[in-house]
Amino acid sequence: METTVKTHDGTGATSAPPAPAELQPFLHDACITLCAPGMAVSRADGQISEGPDGFYHGDRRALSMLVAFAEDVPNAPISGGPDSADRASFRTVLRGLAEHSPDPAVTLERRRTVEPGELRETITLHNAGLTSVPIRLTLRAASDFAPLEAVKSGRPVPDSAPRIETDGLAWSDGELTARLVCAPAPDAAVHGPAEAAELRYSVELGPGERWQTELRCTVDDSKGAAFSPAAPAARAALSSGAALRTADRGLDHWFARSCEDLGSLLLADPLEPADTFLAAGAPWFLTLFGRDSVWAARMLLPLGTGLAAGTLRTLARRQGGKSDPATEEQPGKILHEIRRDGLEFGDGLSVPPCYYGTVDATPLWVTLLHDAWRWGMPPEDVELLLPHAESALKWMDEYGDADGDGFLEYVDSTGRGLANQGWKDSGDAVRRRDGTLAQPPVALCEVQAYAHEAALCAAELLRAFSRPGADRWEEWAQRLKLRFRERFWVEDADGPYPAIALGRDKKPLDALTSNIGHLLGTGLLDEEESRLVAGRLAGPDLDCGFGLRTLAAGSGGFSPLGYHIGTVWPHDTAIAVHGLVRDGHHDVARSLSAGLVRASASFDGRLPELFAGHGTGTDTRPAPYPAACRPQAWSAASAVTVLQAALGLSADAPAGRLTVQPRMAAGYLPLRASGLRLGEREFEVTVDAGGTARVTGLPEGVATVEQAEEAQAAQGGEES
């Protein structure tokens, strides 16, 4: 049943009944403009008016409303959206004003810019008509200082009482103070509905004239956000010079948009502002996440090692040093996330401001250190972090394997934290094929792969820097590999495959999931096992045509809109693509990559955290997951992983070698990728339409280039 309600612009409109309280708000039709730790969330028409909308500073909402409308005329939005990561613009027609034909004449334009702790808007009225018109412009604003988790949970928070000032408004809760200043100052400022306030202008606009007011909202924070804004130069340098031109304009657009978004997600460590890292995503996860920040930095290594170094050091400063059941901190453990005030989700679920409830961030940190060294991170910087790597290895051996069965596992020790502590951390993510949920402790398949790879990577680092323990960790990895083969493999009518996990009874949880893609390229599988996994990933129950479903279609509990039980996560698919290429399964990697590129076009190049897994069998474009973050760091970084896979890039900077094997490049040729880096040297890779690859910018003898399949086929034809 529909009802007619009074909208914020004073006009009558038809809408559905209001949604029940305390439902997670949707974001799929929101416009997010950000420069971490600041962000603005609005409707597509620019109005900050409902649900998750607001101007945020860190984990608090400084403005819960900022709407602009002309009184007594229909306000008809006609365009709006982001112009770049930190800028957006919107245009509304003020219908009936100065119109002498069916053509619109008077418009209201908003141009928005977000900086750390600051929102700026320019509001312009333009009369393209032939007569003068009076316009009564109203700006309605409110602030509730709501914690982010309250917004995410849909819990209403009452607005704060505004203080009316000569040039605007101010609000304070004793910790944060938000000020909204207008220039020119409004003609009148009054209290509006509820705790909102209104700033009013009376404008006489002649033919062809424009009128503007500048709005500036700033936030003063006596406590301080958990992390500092990155310097503008650091944001600009993150992907400086990186450019991609291929035969696939969708890939090009995804790559360019991703590089731009990644700079807007950059934050700095207040303990050492030169060290930067990527916040996980906006709006819900605009902070340091161990797993997410490590994966994003690892994916971006072909663009340079500076981000990886900053991420490694930021996490190392906070590496666990004691056993604390309340935070799940343990010696050597890498944290899960840091928040300003901790999170209270209701129903007994809460996490402290610094929370260590993750099983995979620690081995992933070790592997990032190794990979950054291979891509040219200065040896002296690597060496300083080796004691932290040794502590992480000790955690893997002693704390990660708490029951001594030889596998890394997790269990929420607090009773209030995350029940699942791998990257699929929702409560229903880990299950059997029949839908039965896992009971802790849980040993995830991909975590064993991370641990295996971390042990081998650590052994290589320890030898290179003449530190003891390399043989021990190679033997440790070999034992883990044998145990995994004995315990994790299950079989169905289509043959063998790895289970998602072992449960409390140490028996396999036999759901077929995308997790198995993370095993590839880690050395955990032999050649035949890798072939079996690649075949499963290629099947239509996992590959939906836009990427990998998190849970195979037809499994118990499968839902195309289930957070970890049927949706597609771009980073998840990109990790599988990278592993497929490392293990030589180029055809499957090519198909999955093409799916991600197709999906990116439906999201204007800004791939969200996740999207629906219905697939190309039913949909011509992927449906959004309505509450997904967008942008999300590892989704954006996935564009670089797809490029790396297409070029077959692998680096060994200590040995002065770069390998290019563009066996997955078909469909993207000709291709030119510039702004890539090996250590301090920038280089470029081109592959022509015939598949001939070249590297420029590196000293002679550094790059080893194999030709793409097209060039190899042509050469074979000439020889025959």
Structural domains of the chain, with CATH: 3-221 (2.70.98.40), 228-647 (1.50.10.10), 658-719 (no CATH)
Per-residue pLDDT, 710: 58
Both tokens of 614, joined, read: 């219905």
Radius of gyration of the chain (CA): 27
Give the Cα-Cα-Cα angle 276, 278, 282 (nearest 5 degrees).
140
- Model pLDDT, residue 345: 63
Q: For 91-147, write each residue's pLDDT tens digit.
A: 999 999 999 999 999 999 999 999 999 999 999 999 999 999 999 999 999 999 999
- DSSP conformation class of 306: H
- Tell me what pLDDT residue 10 has: 38
Burial state string for 105-125 with b = 16 or more CB within 10 A and e = fewer than 16 = bbbbbbbbbbebbbbebebeb
| Residue 103 CB contacts under 8 Å (≥ 6 apart), including other chains | none
3-61 pLDDT, tens digit each: 323 233 333 333 444 445 589 999 999 999 999 999 999 999 999 999 999 999 989 99
What is d(CA 30, CA 41) in angstroms, rounded to the nearest whole number? Answer: 6
Stretch (H or E) spanning 261:
helix 249-264
DSSP, collapsed to helix, strand or coil, labels residue 122 as strand
Cα dihedral: 450, 455, 456, 459 (round 10):
150
Phi-psi label, residue 91: left if phi above 0, alpha if psi -120 to 50, beta otherwise: beta
Residue carrying the six token digits 């500073």 = 57
| Residue 706 pLDDT class (50, 70, 90 cuts) | confident
Distances in whole angstroms, Cα of residue 545 to Cα of each of 288, 569, 574, 577, 599: 32, 13, 14, 14, 9
**CB within 8 Å of 291: residues ≥ 6 apart:** 336, 358, 360, 361, 364, 423
CA distance 377 to 538: 35
Whole-number Å distance between alpha carbons of 553 and 616: 13
Predicted confidence at residue 340, as pLDDT, reads: 85
Query: What value does the mean pLDDT of the chain take?
Result: 93
Answer yes or no: is pLDDT of 524 > 90. yes
- Least Cα distance to 394 among 380, 408, 381, 384 occurs for 408
Q: Locate tokens 């060496």: which residue?
A: 383
Picking from 6, 340, 22, the residue whose alpha carbon sits closest to that of residue 157 is: 22
**Tens digits of per-residue pLDDT, 100-114?**
999 999 999 999 999
Residue 719 has pLDDT above 90, yes or no: no
For 519, residues 6+ apart whose C-beta sits below 8 A from its C-beta are 445, 446, 449, 498, 525, 533, 579
Q: Which helix (H) or strand (E) element contains residue 579?
A: helix 570-582
- Asked whether 448 and 524 are in contact (CB, 8 A), the reply is yes
Residues of the chain with pLDDT > 90: what percent? 90
pLDDT of residue 712: 56
Res 256 pLDDT > 90: yes
Distance CA 203, CA 94 (A): 14
Closest to 499 in 3D by CA, of 558, 451, 455, 447: 447
Assess whether pLDDT exceeds 90 at residue 224.
Answer: no
Q: Which two tokens stand for residue 164?
A: 């009316």
The 10 Å CB-count burial string (b at 16+, else e) for 353-387 is ebbbbbbbbbbbbbbbbbbbbbbbbeeebbeebbe
Q: Which of these, 512, 577, 507, lies nearest to 542 by C-alpha position?
A: 512
* pLDDT tens track for 169-193: 999 999 999 999 999 999 999 998 8
- Give me the pLDDT at residue 708, please: 72
Cα–Cα nearest to 195, from 138, 141, 139: 141
